[in-house]
Structure 1
Amino acid sequence: MDDPHPNGRAAAARLRRLVPAGAHAYSKAADQWPPSAPPLLDRGEGALVWDVDGHCYVDWFPGLTCCPLGHAHPAVTDAVHRALTRGTAFQLPTRTELDAAETFLSTVAAPDDMVKFTKNASDAVDGALKLARYATGRALVAKCEQHPFFSTGDWFIGTTAASGGTHPEPAARTLNFSYNDTGGIERLFAAHGDDLAAVILEPARFTPPDPAHFTRLRHLCTTHGTALVFDETVSGLKYRLGGARTLTGVHPDLTCWGKGIGGGLPLAALTGRRELMELGDHTRPLPGRPPLFLLSTTHGSDGAALAAMVATVNEIAATDAITRAHATGAALRRAIHEVFTDNGVAGHLQLTGYDCFLNIDATGNSNVGAPQLKTLFLDLMIRSGALVRGILYPTAAHTAQHLESTTRAAQHAAADCARALDGQPGQLLTAAHRPL
């Protein structure tokens, strides 16, 4: 059959000769997507993206969740344009940094006292753990083993299958615990509490936090002098304006933010209480101890990204964008659940998690395994013009029309998944893209 992506495939091949794996993030590489995925995207607007061959898709994971207002939102692009005309890089702190710090701390990160901006969340997370080790004089850190990614730093990535090139010592000082497992966290502290510099986890992902567990975790961290670190790289600006940490009933000592806070521009942040954050002030070293450079990044003060953050946060707050995104997610969940039920696949395909962050779960049978079933569903969704990966991220940019076209795509996909589960040959589309 004819290839509907000739320009995209040729361009992607050229890119792969110049960039390892043809992508700057592993999750964007071709091996992470079904065969029908467009090889290269060209542009985006709101909830839509276009590939280099001109096909249009409803984007359900915009910017790897970096675009809470959708692509190229006017408030964000206007703010960036104004920043560019004033200059974006200077050799001294700027008024933009003051505006950004005041906005972020008062609107998103309250009641944290201080913030340090950087360009990616790995730097913010690594900075948080470096600060915790400095404050406590301890070496061990503990991470939630259910949360898939914290950092490219050796302390984390060295514990994964992608440990190539890492030094083994940091990974050897990293311990694991399970989410919402109070008994497990008590055993962790009983064995290592006096040696733990930090405990790090996402406050929420797909499973709701147990307030009783988090209360106990907070108590143990406080009692043992261990820094409690929440990683809101993914969850920030999705669950609530103040982050998913507001769902736990406790407040961490340090919080790492990323992805969506820049409105599509590269920006991350570390926030926390003053007595910890001020340890990172190299102009005020502690007596008898060397100064600490918590985070020192030339581009953490980039004026365009900071202006984009201020515009994004203010727009979300002014338009109640998070509530609207949750409503869109709830409508999407209902519609797709109805499609699954009507096609008899509700026992094998379902949406789990919060309305703002929906996970696609698959359960196979003797005819088709769970991974193959999920891949088939995603492949058929993309062929019908809904750019979907394993997670659906509704935003304020998604409209009723986008919901309608995505529901139609799900109908086509679920029908073919039902045939696969029954052991019948599927009726795959004859082209890799069929707009609805």
Structure 2
Amino acid sequence: AALQRGTAFQLPTTAELQAAEVFLSQVAVGDDMVKFAKNGSDTVDGALKLARYATGRTLVAKCSEHPFFSTGDWFIGTTAACGGTHPEPGSRTRDFPYNDTAAIEALFTEHSGDLAAVILEPVRFTAPDPVFFARLRELCTQHGTVLVFDETVSGLKYRLCAAGPLTGVRPDLTCWGKGIGGGMPLSALTGRRDLMQLGDHARPRPGQPPLLLLSTTHGSDGASLAAMVATVGELHSTNAIPRAHAIGATLRNTLAAVLTESGLDRLVRLTGYDCFLNIETLGTERLTAPQLKALFLSETIRAGALVRGIFYSTTVHTAEHLELTAAAVRHAATVCVRALNGQNPAPIPVTAVRPL
């Protein structure tokens, strides 16, 4: 129906207003304003640009354990894939470890006068430490630094109104993406009104040029906004997120039993929340942790379960899917144990598993 009405318009539409009302009332609960875009990099870069504009500072700090924030030079320029980036933005980026209160205090001691923003995912696999987040919120407020939560991955996964509440604090800005569009391309930036309204280029700060926050031709296309509204409604009406967590808990328990049965549980373990399970490995003198993980994943995939290091359970996964996954992991564990015992790790025949 949205496609029939059209998708790209020069001016704001009623559909965009309705989508904003749904998003702010049911997902980004407590935030005042929203700007829609198409991918997470756009909204993250927009959040940091907004923070620099609001504070007049240029330094940003990112959590070192969180693997990806943006394609922008400020982030990519600090990685091994820094080709083609300008060196200046990356040089204005600092790292800090997750849940490390002493490290965040040291960061503010050294850079408080020039720190525009702190950005991190509220939660990934490790549970948030309330002491760390309380201190982080206190320091950001004290020094006028903008606290940004990146919920591109965690949004609509841990709970309907985001993972942020698990930390016990409220950020100033939040970035959203991936799941919010239910498969359609959509991202969003939400936050406090006093910050978000600075993105209105018709109302620049006194003595400063106007801020062009986000410019996306298709940021508010009607089909993606309709998909978001439908997705949020479906998640709410079917209690989908708790159901996905329950399926993940069953998967966790099943696979933990398989790993214990094979004797591999000391070296391969599942960490994180039931909705987002991470595969962690430990190394030995015979196989390093990356080598063991590579062997485990490749054999799991060969046995019919497409796993890239994370188990992401959803409501469409059935008991049969879980059984097939357990059989694939059992096969991979057998191969890994042989390799760890010095036997030929060459793949053994797969007979008990059929690919999905």
TM tier, smaller: over 0.9
Q: Which residue of 1 aligns with 2:236?
A: 317
Counterpart among 76, 99, 107 of residue 26 in structure 2: 107
Counterpart among 296, 301, 304 of residue 223 in structure 2: 304
Deviations 1:49-100 (A, max 9, x none): xxxxxxxxxxxxxxxxxxxxxxxxxxxxxxxxx2112211122211110111
Counterpart among 178, 181, 195 of residue 97 in structure 2: 178
Q: What's the offset of the Cα at 1:278?
A: 0.3
Change (3 A) 1:380 1:433: farther
CA contact (8 A) 2:186 2:219 kept: yes
Q: Which residue of 1 aligns with 2:14?
A: 95
Q: What's the offset of the Cα at 1:430?
A: 5.1
Instruction: Percent identity, please.
Output: 69
Measure, in 2, the Cα distance between the counterparts of 1:364 and 1:419: 15
Letter of the structure 1 residue corresponding to residue 151 of structure 2 = E
Measure, in 2, the Cα distance between the counterparts of 1:433 and 1:118: 45
Counterpart among 251, 268, 286 of residue 187 in structure 2: 268
Q: What secondary structure is seen at the aligned counterpart in 1 of 2:218?
A: helix
Q: Which residue of 2 aligns with 1:327?
A: 246
Q: Which residue of 2 aligns with 1:240?
A: 159
Measure, in 2, the Cα distance between the counterparts of 1:357 and 1:320: 17
Q: What's the offset of the Cα at 1:288?
A: 2.6
Counterpart among 39, 62, 67 of residue 148 in structure 1: 67
CA contact (8 A) 2:275 2:312 kept: yes
Q: What secondary structure is seen at the aligned counterpart in 1 of 2:140?
A: helix
| 1:17-28 alignment, distance < 5 Å | none
CA contact (8 A) 1:206 1:353 kept: yes
Deviation above 6 Å: which 4+ runs of structure 1?
Answer: none
Q: What secondary structure is seen at the aligned counterpart in 1 of 2:147?
A: strand
Q: What secondary structure is seen at the aligned counterpart in 1 of 2:207?
A: coil
Q: What secondary structure is seen at the aligned counterpart in 2 of 1:89?
A: coil
What are the ranges of 5 or more consecutive residues in structure 1 without an aligned counterpart?
1-81
Q: What's the offset of the Cα at 1:367?
A: 2.5
CA contact (8 A) 1:382 1:433 kept: no
Change (3 A) 1:404 1:434: closer
Measure, in 2, the Cα distance between the counterparts of 1:224 and 1:101: 31
What are the ranges of 5 or more consecutive residues in structure 2 without an aligned counterpart?
none
Change (3 A) 1:289 1:380: same
Q: What's the offset of the Cα at 1:287?
A: 3.1
CA contact (8 A) 2:61 2:96 kept: yes
Q: Which residue of 2 aligns with 1:22?
A: none
Q: What's the offset of the Cα at 1:427?
A: 5.7
Q: What secondary structure is seen at the aligned counterpart in 2 of 1:350?
A: strand
Measure, in 1, the Cα distance between the counterparts of 2:53 and 2:124: 29
Q: What's the offset of the Cα at 1:269?
A: 0.6
Q: Which residue of 2 aligns with 1:15?
A: none
Deviations 1:180-209 (A, max 9, x none): 111111111111112111011111111111
Measure, in 1, the Cα distance between the counterparts of 2:297 and 2:100: 32
Q: What secondary structure is seen at the aligned counterpart in 2 of 1:299?
A: coil
Q: What secondary structure is seen at the aligned counterpart in 1 of 2:219?
A: helix
| 1:48-127 alignment, distance < 5 Å | 82-127=1-46
Change (3 A) 1:311 1:369: same
Deviations 1:106-152 (A, max 9, x none): 11001000000111110100000000000000111111111111111
Measure, in 1, the Cα distance between the counterparts of 2:323 and 2:163: 29
Counterpart among 315, 331, 343 of residue 262 in structure 2: 343
Measure, in 1, the Cα distance between the counterparts of 2:130 and 2:285: 39
CA contact (8 A) 2:34 2:191 kept: yes
Measure, in 2, the Cα distance between the counterparts of 1:294 and 1:240: 28
| 1:132-281 alignment, distance < 5 Å | 132-281=51-200
Q: TM-score, normalised by structure 2?
A: 0.97
Letter of the structure 2 residue corresponding to residue 250 of structure 1 = V
Measure, in 2, the Cα distance between the counterparts of 1:184 and 1:369: 29
Q: What secondary structure is seen at the aligned counterpart in 1 of 2:108?
A: helix
Pairing 1:389–2:305 present? no
CA contact (8 A) 1:325 1:395 kept: yes
Q: What's the offset of the Cα at 1:417?
A: 1.3
Measure, in 2, the Cα distance between the counterparts of 1:324 and 1:273: 32
Q: What's the offset of the Cα at 1:309?
A: 1.0
Q: What's the offset of the Cα at 1:323?
A: 0.5
Q: What's the offset of the Cα at 1:434?
A: 5.4
Q: What secondary structure is seen at the aligned counterpart in 1 of 2:78?
A: coil
Q: What secondary structure is seen at the aligned counterpart in 2 of 1:402?
A: helix
| 1:279-290 alignment, distance < 5 Å | 279-290=198-209
CA contact (8 A) 1:118 1:124 kept: yes
Measure, in 1, the Cα distance between the counterparts of 2:102 and 2:346: 49
Q: What secondary structure is seen at the aligned counterpart in 2 of 1:301?
A: coil
CA contact (8 A) 2:331 2:350 kept: no
Q: Which has the higher contact order (CA 8 A, sep 6+)?
A: 1
Q: Which residue of 2 aligns with 1:375?
A: 294
CA contact (8 A) 1:383 1:429 kept: no
Measure, in 2, the Cα distance between the counterparts of 1:156 and 1:367: 35
Residues matched between the structures, number: 355
